[in-house]
Amino acid sequence: MMLKTLLSGAAMVVAINAQAAPALPRHAELDLTTARQLADATLAHCTGAFSVLDRGGNALVSMRPESVGPHNAVASQRKAYTALSTKTPTRLFAERARNNPEASNLNSIPELLLLGGGVPLFAGSELVGALGVAGAGGAEQDEACAISAAQAVGLTITR
């Protein structure tokens, strides 16, 4: 009888805990396979340093060709982080910041880099990561390379 009561109580606790679990949202994730495809696509479109970040800002792939200065490795990661955190291509974000006096202090945030070459990556309408390119010949070329690489693997840079 005591065993039956104990098992019944345990079953109730399990049932209550199962019902109490929140229904958490599911998100698309940028995986290492796709990040490597982005790396290949980036290298096919330009010679620059680049970084691919997942939706949490973690580096999945980061590379710097020998012909590109070492500072570009850090710049590519900061561009990707800026695009990810603002959900905006960095060239557009930098332009908006220059035209808004209240945004002038954004340059003081060490993780952000207000230069073209970073793009957010969307799968459908969902942000999955970001790609930053630096050292490909200037902000415009960096951005064009990042956009071409994203398009090559079927990702967009806007919702």
Q: Return d(Cα 146, Cα 38) in angstroms, integer.
A: 9
Residue 23 banded pLDDT, cuts 50, 70, 90:
confident
Q: Is residue 1 one of the residues assigned to a domain?
A: no
Q: What is the mean pLDDT of the chain?
A: 91
Q: Return d(Cα 126, Cα 136) in angstroms, integer.
A: 28
Q: Is residue 135 one of the residues assigned to a domain?
A: yes
In this prediction, residue 107 carries a pLDDT of 83
Structural domain total, the chain: 1
**What average pLDDT does range 106-133 have in this prediction?**
95
Q: Is residue 23 one of the residues assigned to a domain?
A: no
CATH of the domain at 69: 3.30.450.150
Q: Return d(Cα 26, Cα 24) in angstroms, integer.
A: 7
In this prediction, residue 105 carries a pLDDT of 87
Q: What is the pLDDT of residues 52-62, one digit of tens each?
A: 999 999 999 99
Among 62, 87, 57, 86, CA closest to 73? 62
Give yes or no for residue 6 having a pLDDT over 90.
no
**Sheet containing strand 49-54, strands side by side:** 59-63, 49-54, 126-134, 118-123
Q: Is residue 77 one of the residues assigned to a domain?
A: yes
Question: What range does the domain containing 119 cover?
Answer: 29-152
In this prediction, residue 18 carries a pLDDT of 57
Q: Is residue 80 one of the residues assigned to a domain?
A: yes
* DSSP-derived pairing of the beta strands 118-123 and 49-54: unpaired
Among 103, 106, 110, 129, CA closest to 50? 129
Q: Is residue 8 one of the residues assigned to a domain?
A: no
Q: Is residue 98 one of the residues assigned to a domain?
A: yes
In this prediction, residue 2 carries a pLDDT of 64
In percent, how much of the chain has pLDDT > 70?
87
Strand residue runs (E) in 8-148: 49-54, 59-63, 118-123, 126-134
Among 159, 142, 76, CA closest to 113? 76
Q: Is residue 16 one of the residues assigned to a domain?
A: no
For the CA atoms of 112, 117, 121, 124, what is the dihedral angle to 10 degrees? Answer: 130
Crossing angle between the packed helical segments 90-98 and 139-152, to the nearest 10 degrees: 140
